[in-house]
Amino acid sequence: MRRLRKVRGSVLIIVMVTLLFTTFAMVTFVEKAGVDLLVEVRESSARHLRQKAYSALEVTLAVLEDFRQADGGLRSPAEGWNDPLGFANWTPGDGYTADVSFEDESGKISLAHVTPATLTELFKSWQFSQSDAEKLTDGLMSWMQKDYVPTGSFTPDYDNGALPYVVPQRSLRSFSELAAIDAVRDVFYDKDGRPNEYWHRFANTFSLFDFKQSNLNAATPDVLSAFGNSDLSSQQRLGEYLSGTGAYANQGPGFFQNSGDAASVLGGNSVPAGFGTVISALRINITIHRGRTQFRLTAVVAPPGGASTVLANPALTALPDDKNPDKTATTQQPSTSASTGVTTTTTAGKKLNYPFTLLEIRENVEIPPTPAPAPQA
């Protein structure tokens, strides 16, 4: 009997151990399956959000084209296209919401056509001395323009650095290039190498795209100061007129059909040279929401005859890769993906009968926070 009891006890232990391992295996399997299913659900949700975002972009472009043809160009969202999805009566579907906002890239100054006088005037409005403003101007113009002759004692020494390189002799294609420019990086970056307030003000004043005139309907005080209008009262009146605030609160946001219409708002002052009233490059920000999940799409488009991208300098194509800033910049750009995509177009868009040229498109790119104001120079 005792032996039989021992056998029964051993069998019971084996069964219990087997059940324990089986339970552990089942729990592990369920946990892994749950994670795999969650990943699949998130990927499926991201695909649906992405499709909705691109659909919203197409609807937005269709509405913009209607206004462009009717009004002979785009000038400001105050023309009536500030809510393109509502205008088209388009919704992304049940459970989804869509937000669309615009940034007039051509309200800035095109770096491809900036002059030394414009740069110096801007830096002086930032309370830099004449000599410091000219030094910053010399650093930027020497980087961007071939055969530029500095006005001061600026003498760059890029060839003898720890990582020698030559200047690209073309307009900036990324604001990260500012970190490589002598005299500029010491002003636009803090001691830890992070962009400071001057960097952000510069990026908000200048555009990397190539266009002839800045749109007065989106001009900021810094843009006005760079073009020689540093009168604070006229800058304030213009800002109130465009935003529909202050003295113009009753009439709502306004815009100018032509630069001559702005004289009365500017207090009788003539509009500085370099301004137009038509959009050359428009940044479209689209965000699709579903619950706590969202997908952000940002595209920069140009109407016919509008802005273009800055091309590489052909004179540098024969340089070694380690000294060619254009080749280096190209290899460091992130590839297009569903998470952080960046795409630019040059001549390929000309083959399509499309009303806009796509200059840039980005997916799920975070907007960096603006740091605290920099101390006065």
Res 316: pLDDT: 58
| Residue 240 domain-assigned (yes or no) | yes
120 and 98 in a single domain? The answer is: no
Torsion angle defined by CA atoms of residues 184, 190, 194 and 200, in that order, rounded to the nearest 10 degrees: -60
Res 72: pLDDT: 94
140 and 268 in a single domain? The answer is: yes
Give the residue, 269 or 294, on which the prediction is more confident: 294
248 and 321 in a single domain? The answer is: no
Residue pLDDT, tens place only, 169-186: 999 999 999 999 999 999
Last residue of a domain, one of 253, 274, 295: 274
202 and 250 in a single domain? The answer is: yes
How many of the other CB atoms lie within 10 Å of CB of 112? Answer: 21
pLDDT band at 334 (very low <50, low <70, confident <90, very high): very low
81 and 129 in a single domain? The answer is: no
The pTM (predicted TM-score) of the whole model is: 0.77
| Residue 213 domain-assigned (yes or no) | yes
Burial of 219: CB neighbours in 10 Å, binned 0-12, 13-18, 19+ = buried
Average pLDDT, the chain: 83
Both tokens assigned to 354: 């499309």
Residue 283 has pLDDT above 80, yes or no: yes
Q: Which helix (H) or strand (E) holds 122?
A: helix 116-125
Query: What is the pLDDT averaged over residues 150-170?
Result: 84
Give the residue, 42 or 20, on which the prediction is more confident: 20
263 and 313 in a single domain? The answer is: no
134 and 228 in a single domain? The answer is: yes
| Residue 1 domain-assigned (yes or no) | no
288 and 329 in a single domain? The answer is: yes
pLDDT band at 75 (very low <50, low <70, confident <90, very high): very high
Enclosing domain of residue 161: 116-274
Per DSSP, the residues of 286-354 read EEEEETTEEEEEEEEEE-TT--BPPPPPGGGTTS-GGG-HHHHHHHHSPPP-SSS-EEE-SSGGGGS--
234 and 93 in a single domain? The answer is: no
